[in-house]
Structure 1
Amino acid sequence: MNLQYLRYAIEVENADSITKAAQNLFMSQPNLSKAIRELEQELGITIFRRTTRGVVPTRQGEEFLTYAKTIVSQVDELESLYHTKQSDIFSLTVSVPRATYLSVAFADYYNSLEAHGRVNIHFRETGSVNAIQDVSTKFSDFAVIRYEVIYESYFLSLLADKGLRHEPLREFEYLLMMSDQHPLSRYSEIPYHLLNGYTEIIHGDIQVPALSVSQIKPNAELKTPPKRIYVYDRGSQMDFLQRIDGTYMWVSPVPQSMLDRYHLVTRPCPNAKNKVRDVLIYQKNHFFHDVQRDLIQRLKSHLGEA
């Protein structure tokens, strides 16, 4: 049964005239009459009878029109419900490394979203290999991946194999982050060998090591095997840095406001040759919605605020 024919019949009843209903529907009277006849033939009933004052529903027609109005009303409600979801609610999924400057930028970005209506966002902190998989399978709209420059050929090859585009966001050297009460916090720079005996906090799902032995100058080896705590979220790492004596982490530059909040400090390590890049990745045919462009611009604008 043609839903549009139900709408035609309802309009004919409202107008009490096929001619007037045709005008209201912006269609010709013969075409409307034909549609009503086809509907009556399909149902096997007469919906309207002609009178000197126009057309009126038959008894069966009245019963049919009651059902028709219910059906049309429910369809209109359903269309309205999902049209609202499509037009007023924008969904976004991004995969990023566990970097404080990214979460701070994202928070500022979200506070500016009022003009865009309702937005559902999935903010997924994960390793670079997982992020590449997220974008290649379209689980994420786009992602930021992080790799050390010595691994760049590996990651660029992987991106090429997946057919993904990339553009640089930021380049930096890893810093040591620790409590402001850490014994080493008094140093303006921390030689690598001084980390001997202290506990490193490291993300447990990073497939490529954050700082390899080959990147440390030969005269800077640790005398004892490193002690490590593997974590999988940034909430835990902040708690451990504050509460477990002698812990430290290799991190990207962190906004000073966040360091102050958690009573942490960052220090360079002159022995470490650890240049790192954060790179934006996305599908070749990806269309960037205004909301997505706003987020990317927000990320870029925070690069100099750490």
Structure 2
Amino acid sequence: MNQKQMEYFLEVYRQGNIQNAANNLYVSRQGVSKIIKTLEDELGQLLFIRNPHGLVPTDYATALLPHVQRLLEEYRTIESMRTLASQSKSVVTVFALDHVFAFLGAKFLLDFHRTFPDIILSTVDTTDDAALKGVLEKSCNFAIVTGELDKTRFCGEPLFFSRYCARLHSSHPLAKKDKLTYKDLDGTKIVSKGRAYQCFRHNMDKYILLPGLKVDLVAETADEMLIADLILQHQVVNIGYDYAAMLKPHPDIVVRLLGTEDEQGQTIYLAWDKTTVLTKASQKFRDFLLNWLPQNAL
């Protein structure tokens, strides 16, 4: 089975119709039929059954589908690597907790580019768990996540500490307070990033659910536009990190630190696979980031 056969199979499976698949592939109907027939002969299995409404995939085709999708994704990854390699530049990929690079700002990206013009920095906003999984699966070179890290699997360097905070409408009754406790949230409507994030699990489990506080969880989302609308239009309180809360200020939204102790928050770490030898480009990125942060008072 080659790449062309897999692409034709996938398109026919999606469309359930030879002509529609041929149109999308910009080839003739006969060409698609020939490829599918050749593939069936190679596999020794029937892939599609004709009925009055089109083509119905066989059980074998349905079982084959996820394997074909994974193989095609690998082909695309290899092609992408070839394209980047042709630019004679190294790539450092970082899966980071949402808004971390927005917090570092454009200055960080420009400073890094000026210092290392031959290194492409590729960043992806995601969750803590997905970032660490990406490191272990070699989908990225680094993760920027909350700690503590599993030291049996990861190496890490602390970047900065972020306090928990609440964002709320300036007219909200709790906005009159300079600082909020978790007890203040009892009975309120809240929105947060969600259980895919350690911040949410830490806040909800340790400080809200275990003490028996009652909150109305309106939604779990990382969409900043939705969060802002819920705060402004519906008096919902958002809980999260202080580093992210200051990124998009609004005259009607106030930020209040959350908790009674200064340590109620989490340290943000740069993490990488303990079993992986860092590339030279990765080492340069790590060292640059660790030196840049204290110099820029972040």
Partners of 2:202 and 2:244 lie apart in 1 by 17
Partners of 1:234 and 1:207 lie apart in 2 by 15
Q: Which runs of 5 or more structure 2 residues have no equivalent in the other structure?
A: 1-81
Q: TM-score under structure 2 normalisation? A: 0.57
Partners of 2:295 and 2:253 lie apart in 1 by 24
The answer as to whether partners of 2:164 and 2:241 remain within 8 angstroms in 1 is yes
Residue 36 (structure 1) aligns with:
none
SS where residue 229 of structure 1 aligns?
strand
Q: 1:265 is matched with which residue: 251, 254, 258?
A: 254
Residue 202 (structure 2) aligns with:
210
Deviation string, structure 1 residues 215-257 (Cα, Å, up to 9, x no partner): 4698x753x443231114445434433443232223234575x
Residue 195 (structure 1) aligns with:
185
Aligned-pair identity in percent equals 16
Q: Offset of 1:120 from its aligned partner?
A: 4.5
Partners of 2:135 and 2:84 lie apart in 1 by 27
Amino acid at match of 1:210: H
Residue 294 (structure 1) aligns with:
288
Amino acid at match of 2:256: R
Amino acid at match of 2:122: H
Amino acid at match of 1:264: I
Amino acid at match of 1:193: K
Deviation string, structure 1 residues 142-162 (Cα, Å, up to 9, x no partner): 111114xxxx3xx42xx41x3
Task: State whether structure 2 residue 219 is matched by structure 1 residue 229.
Answer: yes
Q: Which runs of 5 or more structure 1 residues have no equivalent in the other structure?
A: 1-80
Task: State whether structure 2 residue 117 is matched by structure 1 residue 110.
Answer: no
The answer as to whether partners of 2:159 and 2:290 remain within 8 angstroms in 1 is no
Higher Cα Rg: structure 1 or 2?
1
The answer as to whether partners of 1:259 and 1:265 remain within 8 angstroms in 2 is no
Q: For the structure 1 residues 125 and 84, does the alpha-carbon distance in structure 2 shift closer, same or farther, using more than 3 Å as the test?
A: closer
Task: State whether structure 2 residue 167 is matched by structure 1 residue 177.
Answer: yes
Deviation string, structure 1 residues 24-53 (Cα, Å, up to 9, x no partner): xxxxxxxxxxxxxxxxxxxxxxxxxxxxxx
- Larger deviation: 269-278 or 196-205? 269-278
Q: For the structure 1 residues 108 and 83, does the alpha-carbon distance in structure 2 shift closer, same or farther, using more than 3 Å as the test?
A: closer
Partners of 2:138 and 2:114 lie apart in 1 by 26
Partners of 1:138 and 1:84 lie apart in 2 by 18
Deviation string, structure 1 residues 53-72 (Cα, Å, up to 9, x no partner): xxxxxxxxxxxxxxxxxxxx
SS where residue 170 of structure 1 aligns?
strand
Residue 130 (structure 1) aligns with:
130
Count matched residues.
209
Partners of 2:142 and 2:84 lie apart in 1 by 25
SS where residue 105 of structure 1 aligns?
helix
The answer as to whether partners of 2:103 and 2:244 remain within 8 angstroms in 1 is no
Q: TM-score under structure 1 normalisation? A: 0.56
Partners of 2:230 and 2:122 lie apart in 1 by 26
Q: Offset of 1:114 from its aligned partner?
A: 4.3
The answer as to whether partners of 2:191 and 2:236 remain within 8 angstroms in 1 is no
The answer as to whether partners of 2:227 and 2:238 remain within 8 angstroms in 1 is no
Partners of 2:83 and 2:209 lie apart in 1 by 60
Q: Offset of 1:133 from its aligned partner?
A: 1.0
Q: For the structure 1 residues 181 and 225, does the alpha-carbon distance in structure 2 shift closer, same or farther, using more than 3 Å as the test?
A: closer
Residue 47 (structure 1) aligns with:
none
